[in-house]
Structure 1
Amino acid sequence: MVWSNGSASGCCGSPGYVSDTGAARDSQLSLSPTGHSVVAACLGLISTFGFVNNLLALVLFGRHKALRSPINLLLINISLSDMLVCALATPFSLAASTRGRWLAGRTACVWYGFANSLFGIVSLISLAVLSYERYCTMTCPAEPDVTNYRKVALGVVLSWVYSLIWTLPPFFGWSRYGPEGPGTTCSVDWTAKTANNISYIICLFIFCLILPFLVIVYSYGKLLHAIRQVSGLKTSTGRKREHRVLLMVITMVVCYLLCWLPYGIMALLATFGAPGLVTAEASIVPSLLAKTSTVINPVIYVFMNKQFNRCLRSLLKCDATQQGSILKSWSKANKPMRRTDNNLTFMAASVDHRSAAPSTSKSNKEPPSTDSAKPPALSLVAHYNGSF
């Protein structure tokens, strides 16, 4: 599920660490040596690309001062949590997959489950906060102060505190962390049928998967509605921007569901289904899909961001002079202007000069035509350059 970046159910098969019903379930939840090798190869790719992608995002943020806007701080928080998963958690499951069993002992298993849960929820709550912040930025009644980090910093702190609220209870008796799947990862105990454990899993599903998803859908839905209001001017620029934002929103929502929904479903099946319903293969595939979020998130939210993309290209060219000139010219070309409509303030990046530029012909002496009363053609962008 969303809180563990692991697989979906089961027990650990490592010597010296078998849960209460582990021996009875080892035969049901086991992979062949070939299966473990395939999982290890997948984990190796995910860990490598996830770590490199997120580290590169952090390097760009630290190297380019122009990227240090408040909203980009949320992107960095997502990259940081995803990179920590790749660096501190995935190597343990990778090593276990190469041997077909958990290698690090009981205490490490518990902390592995906790760390995966903590970083996974931080990433998802940050995605929800990011979507809501983008919506507020686009529709706020006044131009925001791009030097004010207080609101976004509060969102970052909230993501970590919220995650701790839901990942610490297993240490105090509300459910527990333990082995899962084919015996190579650890997470929340999905298989215990006690009221204590079931209530915890239901709360996790609602507050750590469904709630962030609803926030994302609501925020981007309202954002698209606002964009369509401005695109009602029927300019080609407005239509292109609307289609581009729509594609980005669909990509974000689909990737969110693709990464996390299968894992959530498998966790619920393991919790409420009959024993043995979730096989080893059925549990490990959602696990790998959940872990791919560490690779997909920086691609969608960072490298498809105009600011980061330009800085990345200049970094790869290793031309410091070009880096400064590109950022400067890009910022000037996208200097925002305000347009207020129905108590909503939108930021515009372009104006139809045919209607906005003053006329120097004889028509200055004539009464203005009806066309001059039409609003200039505007294209919608985020208050913070490069939000999409």
Structure 2
Amino acid sequence: MAGLERSISSFLFFLKDISSINTSFMNKTQRRKRDMSFCLLSALGSLSPTGHLVVAVCLGFIGTFGFLNNLLVLTLFCRYHTLRSPINVLLLSVCVSDLLVCVLGTPFSFAAATQGRWLIGRAGCVWYGFINACLGIVSLISLAVLSYERCCTMLCRMQADGTDFGTAVAGVCFSWVYALAWTLPPLLGWSSYGPEGPGTTCSVDWRTQTPNNISYIVCLFTFCLLLPFSVIMYSYGKLLSAIKQVTNHRPLGQRVLVMVVTMVACYLLCWLPYGVAALLSTFGPRNLLTPEVTIVPSLLAKTSTVINPVIYIYMNRQVLTLTHTHTLSHTHTHPELLCGVVSLMFLPCVHA
């Protein structure tokens, strides 16, 4: 009898093991089916092979030059102690966020474009959408904080405080917390992340026309695109007005005007098409935007990682001078004003 009981017990354990193995196999099969369904969904309305190749080339260019440009900026600030001022902490935040986009985001969309489909499944799509949305908003909010801080510095003190890092660090923390506050909700049920355009990138779900999704997109557009743009326009407008009232130095005024117009124009070029395309996808007819149309705004938004270092660093002749002479040029005409203007470019000033 004891032997029979042991045999029955062993047989029951055997059946239990088979059941657990079968359950595990079924779960894996279901996950694979979901991933396959997701890949098929992401491939709907895909581009032609030539179209995917063009997108891959563009993403390769953006990823490579965005990485190199931002890495070079970080190297400059590590090499030259003169550049380590409080306001440059905000610029470094922009560079770090853009660099992370090139490392954590662009390689996956580049690989997907070369294959014509998304490669890392639904979880990878959600992760990609969250990371890129968060880092993009960090960059936008940081640029708005930079413009407002420089405006306040010029109008209130007429020169930057070279020792107080508290305000700059607070600005950096605010930018990252603000970005997280607006990109975590899709992970918690307010909207979601999913395939975008031809299915080789992922972002916020622009296509689902439900009250839950529409309310999030309207808030995202208002508080993460229009609001920072309004702050930038207000700050640079006040700055230009102050320069016009204080000095008659025409070349200086023209140089600052060109810089400000360039900043605003590039902001609009990179982000406005993306915002408009998102709103059209949300509120327009379901098939209003073709894959060829939707991929262009996405690529323009990604070019901000290349453009930001060029505008804020390489267009500043003092950076070029510093890299060649290891000194900042001195000025004798309106030193306080020029100090504020140079501070706008996130560099410290040296009085004559």
TM-score (norm 1): 0.77
Structure 2 counterparts to residues 182-331 of structure 1, below 5 A: 182-231=198-247, 234=248, 238-312=249-323, 314=324, 322-323=325-326, 326-327=327-328, 330=329
Structure 1 246/17 Cα, relative in aligned 2: closer, same or farther at 3 Å? farther
Higher deviation after alignment, 196-205 or 135-144: 135-144
List aligned pairs for 1:108-147, cutoff 5 A. Answer: 108-141=124-157, 143-147=159-163
Ranked by relative contact order (alpha carbons within 8 Å, sequence separation 6 or more), the top structure is 1
Write the letter of the residue equivalent to 2:291. A
SS in 1 for 2:195: strand
For residue 306 of structure 1, report the CA deviation from its aligned partner. Answer: 4.0
SS of equivalent residue, structure 1 residue 208: helix
Amino acid at match of 1:276: N
Say what the alpha-carbon RMSD is for the aligned residues. 2.0
> What's the counterpart of residue 387 of structure 1?
344
Q: For structure 1, list consecutive stretches of 5 or more residues without a partner in the other structure.
A: 1-13, 315-321, 335-348, 352-377
Instruction: Determine if the alignment matches structure 1 residue 52 to structure 2 residue 68.
Output: yes
Q: Which residue of 2 aligns with 1:172?
A: 188
Residue identity over aligned pairs, in percent, reads 61
CA distance in 2, matches of 1:15, 1:182: 19
More helix by percentage:
2
**Structure 1 143/308 Cα, relative in aligned 2: closer, same or farther at 3 Å?**
closer
Say whether residues 1:95 and 2:111 are aligned partners: yes
Aligned counterpart, 1:350: 333
Aligned AA (2:209) = K
SS of equivalent residue, structure 2 residue 123: helix
Larger proportion of strand: 1
Q: How many Å separate the matches in 2 of 1:382 and 1:57?
A: 21
Q: Which residue matches 2:6?
A: none
Alignment counterpart, residue 106 of structure 1, candidates 122, 130, 133: 122
Report the CA distance between 1:311 and its aligned residue: 3.2
Cα distance in 2 for partners of 1:171, 1:111 equals 10
Residues 105-144 of structure 1 show CA distances to partners (whole Å, capped at 9, x for unaligned) of 1111111000001100000001101111111111114654
**Cα-to-partner distance string for 1:43-73 (whole Å, 9 max, x where unaligned):** 0000000000000000001111100011111
- Select the structure of larger CA radius of gyration: 2
Stretches of structure 2 that go unaligned for 5 or more consecutive residues are 1-32, 346-352
Aligned equivalents of 1:65, 1:253: Cα separation in 2: 29
Query: Partners in 1 of 2:143 and 2:186 — Cα distance?
Result: 25
Aligned length: 313
The ranges of structure 1 where at least 4 consecutive aligned residues each deviate by more than 6 angstroms after the TM superposition are: none
Secondary structure of 2:320 counterpart: helix
CA distance in 1, matches of 2:37, 2:297: 23
AA matched with 2:69: N
